[in-house]
Amino acid sequence: RKDLLDIESLSRAEIEELLDQAVPFKDLFTRSVKKVPALKGKTVLNLFYEPSTRTLSSFEVAAKRLSADVTNFDVPHSSVVKGESVKDTIDTLQSMRTDYIIVRNKLSGLPGVIARETKASVINAGDGQHAHPTQALLDGFTFREVFPQTDGRRILIVGDILHSRVARSTTNLMRKIGVEVAWLGPGPLVPKHGPKGVRRFTNYEEAMAWAPDVVYLLRVQMERQDVQYFPSLREYHKLYGVTTERFKQIEDNGTYIMHPGPVNRGVELCDAVMDYSKSLINTQVENGIAARMAVLYSLKPGTSEDSAS
Ligand code: CP
């Protein structure tokens, strides 16, 4: 496989192989082994047209731990701001013979276009509302650490499902590894015709009665909202957030909490959740490095004739 563009194109076996590969990478740095020579001599380019804290730094650390040379393309100070097209930018970068290009952009499908244009391995680090496959992989890895037998476990994904690339990719991945998925959110933001078998809730209490093992809170993305459908932040917290009251129930049930970050405290969750022993939020960030090492390690930069996914 040359590129990683989405979760749809991965089989369960391929996903599990990537998750298995991440295990020794995580073990290495818990044993303070900072670097392995696997990608020595290779070059990795981070091409982020949208802001990122976790994904960008996580890919940088992952690539460096594999001994690759890393360049972070500085979009605000590049010729992109002078109007250079993405195609011309890619041609320029291609001339530099980069082995891996990690791309985040607000345009759904752009990583696929770049993958077809370049010999480098392209990894989608989030494209519009389409996909965020490495987030899904680190979520799957984190879920599997807690529940090694994933079949029949339950995850409730809460928030604006419609606009969320994280919801799309993580739903796909969880279902592929046998986890039952339900969605909860404001009616117009929970697709009526989601994947077959995904339960759909618009009421928090009904969703919790479904007894999820994990509640996965999506970030409220104000930058992508159609305000017509979105409640105020205070109302959102009351209707769909983990309030102090609901947190008590979550603690009593021993339900795990996940969130892709960045967290809007007081919106998706109350402060106390951040210190909850079954909050996996920081573990997700930590696991992102191992999952991304596994992805970089598994992809094979190739010739332009290779398939794009
Ligand atoms: N989860 C995630 O994609 O976070 P960043 O936007 O900080 O990369």
CA distances from 62 to 11, 21, 38, 177, 218 (A): 24, 13, 11, 24, 24
Q: Which atom of ligand 1 is nearest to the CA of 53?
A: 7
Q: How far is the CA of 55 from the centre of ligand 1 (A)?
A: 5
Q: How far is the CA of 145 from the centre of ligand 1 (A)?
A: 21
Query: Does the beta carbon of 133 sit less than 6 angstroms from any atom of ligand 1?
Result: no
Q: Is 152 helix (H, G, I), strand (E, B) or coil?
A: coil
Bridge-based pairing state of the strands 180-184 and 69-73: unpaired
Other beta carbons within 10 angstroms of residue 236's beta carbon come to: 19
Q: How far is the CA of 209 from the centre of ligand 1 (A)?
A: 30
Q: How far is the CA of 281 from the centre of ligand 1 (A)?
A: 12
Q: How far is CA 141 from the centre of its chain?
A: 11
pLDDT of amino acid 91 = 82
Ligand 1, atom 5: closest residue by C-alpha: 52
Q: Which of 198, 124, 188, 187 is nearest to 157 (CA)?
A: 198
Query: Does the beta carbon of 262 sit less than 6 angstroms from any atom of ligand 1?
Result: yes
Ligand 1, atom 4: closest residue by C-alpha: 54
Query: Does the beta carbon of 21 sit less than 6 angstroms from any atom of ligand 1?
Result: no
Q: Which atom of ligand 1 is nearest to the CA of 55?
A: 8
Give ipTM to 2 decimals. Answer: 0.96
Backbone angles phi, psi at 22, to 5 degrees: -70, -25
pLDDT of amino acid 305 = 47
pLDDT of amino acid 231 = 78
Q: Which of 189, 192, 187, 157 is nearest to 172 (CA)?
A: 157
Torsion angle of C-alpha atoms 138, 143, 144, 147, degrees rounded to 10:
170
- Tell me the sheet residues that pair with 131: 127
Q: Which atom of ligand 1 is nearest to the CA of 219?
A: 1
Q: Which atom of ligand 1 is nearest to the CA of 58?
A: 8
CATH 3.40.50.1370 domain locations along the chain: 12-131+286-298, 133-280
Rounded Cα gap, residues 197 and 182, in angstroms: 9
Query: Does the beta carbon of 54 sit less than 6 angstroms from any atom of ligand 1?
Result: yes
Which stretches does DSSP call E strand in the chain?
43-48, 69-73, 100-105, 121-127, 154-158, 180-184, 199-201, 214-217, 256-258
Query: Does the beta carbon of 53 sit less than 6 angstroms from any atom of ligand 1?
Result: yes
Mean per-residue pLDDT pooled into runs of 10, the chain (309 residues): 97 98 92 91 93 94 97 78 78 85 93 92 96 98 98 97 95 98 94 91 96 96 64 90 96 97 93 96 97 98 55
Query: Does the beta carbon of 135 sit less than 6 angstroms from any atom of ligand 1?
Result: yes
133-280: which CATH architecture? Answer: 3-Layer(aba) Sandwich (3.40)
Q: Which fold has domain 12-131+286-298?
A: Rossmann fold (3.40.50)
